[in-house]
Amino acid sequence: MKRLKLVLFLSLGLSFGIQAQELDVNLQIRPRFEYRNGYKQLLQEGQKGTSQISQRSRLNFNYTQEDLIVKLTLQNTRTWGDVTPAAVADKNGVAVFEAWAQYNFTEKWSARMGRQVLSYDNQRILGEQDWGQQAQSHDALTITFHTEKQKLDFGGAYNSTAENVLQTPYTVANYKAMQYAWYHNQFSSDFGFSFLALNTGYEYANLDAKLLVDYKQTFGPYLSYKTGKIDSNFWAYGQTGKSTNLQVSAWNAAANFNYAITDSFKAGLGYEFLSGKNTNDGSSVIKSFNPIFGTNHAFNGFMDYFYVGNHLNNVGLQDAFLKLNYNVNKWQFTLSPHMFLAAADVVTPLNEKMDSYLGTEIDASFGYNFKKEITVTGGYSQMFGSKTMEFIKNGEANHTNNWAWLMVSVNPRIFNWKK
């Protein structure tokens, strides 16, 4: 028996010895202070703003062994003070943000399964939502084919509340099933083309309490053009299918153009249209576009008045904006004014059509690379709302509605091992 154990030990040692392996472990500590005084919605009469500090703490394990890649990310998200100093248990605990294994069958084909981030193009439809301390990941299987200039991803997911033995309603606020395909072709160093097709199925119970799944399709191209001074992109997405037995017919399109005036200063302008539904439209068709799993904080203003857990099934949005970027040494500064308008008619119960203008938001932000592992970012935003904004979101437009934030991100590599 001792000889057998010795042979097994030597065999394992030799097998590991001939395979290249690497383990990388890194940490992120990211506290963020926010002053919210009309954030996401106009303050109502008598209401006061508030402040808090949230924090993300992450531990990332990245392991590679020849054709096998494994990643595990553990994280805790918290608000400072949400438990007492002597608490015996954390409020949120430690969650698994990513836990996936990928096998590279050939140089061109690979498969990844497990909890993973799905992020494509500019993340308008599928993104990580990294601004949120909890971020966003999916339980999915993804298969990838790639060449030097082309890449094709297709994958899917099927969700349940638990390991049930009988049909059980899926009560999580998530899709029951999802399939997608994403194709990208980098025709040249300047021009890239992508096409995304996403099919999301949400479960619901009909009038007879029968569980059904309706599928909604989101699809469209994304184009990018980049040269030494020009950075531009365009996208157009359609949305069709059904949602809780209602027909869906919506669309989204946008164009952005940025120009590097100097090595340090870049100026840009953009426009986005997200379809909506007239407030006096009595049809059952869903005409309001939903960005689904997009990194919505990066679009339509930093104060998150639109599509960050809000403004769904509403009058849509038009967003015309400028963006000014200035970089010097370790500093980055950005100024971006947005003008918002409704994409559909806003009509009062008295059948009076209101002005489509919703308001103007000014976003100012900065970043400072304190050192390689530490960055400091912050900003200030103010919303100048209109009477139409009051009608849609309630609150007082005359109130000073503003928001300020300061965030420190510490990202050290704590361990690296190669064999």
- Answer whether residue 102 is part of any domain: no
Q: Token pair of 208, please?
A: 């007879």
Q: Token pair of 347, please?
A: 């009509």
How many structural domains does the chain have? 1
- Answer whether residue 59 is part of any domain: no
CA angle 269, 274, 278 (to 5 degrees): 130
Taking the model in full, what pTM does it have?
0.91
Are 102 and 109 spatial neighbours (Cβ–Cβ below 8 Å)? Answer: no
- Dump pLDDT digits (tens) for 255-269: 999 999 999 999 999
pLDDT at 40: 96
Residues sharing a CB contact under 8 Å with residue 372, sequence separation 6 or more, in sequence order: none
Q: Token pair of 67, please?
A: 């054709």
Are 355 and 388 spatial neighbours (Cβ–Cβ below 8 Å)? Answer: yes
- Answer whether residue 212 is part of any domain: yes
Q: Which domain holds residue 250?
A: 116-162+174-418
Query: What are residue 352's phi and psi, to 5 degrees?
Result: -100, 125
Are 370 and 364 spatial neighbours (Cβ–Cβ below 8 Å)? Answer: no
**Spans of the chain, pLDDT less than 50:** 1-2, 4-16
Residues sharing a CB contact under 8 Å with residue 78, sequence separation 6 or more, in sequence order: 54, 55, 57, 90, 91, 92
Cα–Cα distance measured from residue 213 to residue 201, given in angstroms and rounded to the nearest whole number: 6
pLDDT at 19: 75
Cα–Cα distance measured from residue 172 to residue 158, given in angstroms and rounded to the nearest whole number: 12
- Answer whether residue 57 is part of any domain: no
Between the alpha carbon of residue 134 and those of residues 70, 101, 374, the distances in Å are 21, 21, 20
Between the alpha carbon of residue 254 and those of residues 274, 291, 319, the distances in Å are 9, 13, 9
> Which CATH number goes with the domain that contains 341?
2.40.160.100
- Answer whether residue 82 is part of any domain: no
- Answer whether residue 83 is part of any domain: no
Are 37 and 419 spatial neighbours (Cβ–Cβ below 8 Å)? Answer: no
pLDDT at 12: 43
- Answer whether residue 91 is part of any domain: no
- Answer whether residue 145 is part of any domain: yes
Cα–Cα distance measured from residue 176 to residue 158, given in angstroms and rounded to the nearest whole number: 6
What number of residues does the chain have? 419
pLDDT at 13: 47
Q: In which region does residue 92 sit, left (phi positive, over 0), alpha (psi from -120 to 50) or beta (all else)?
A: alpha
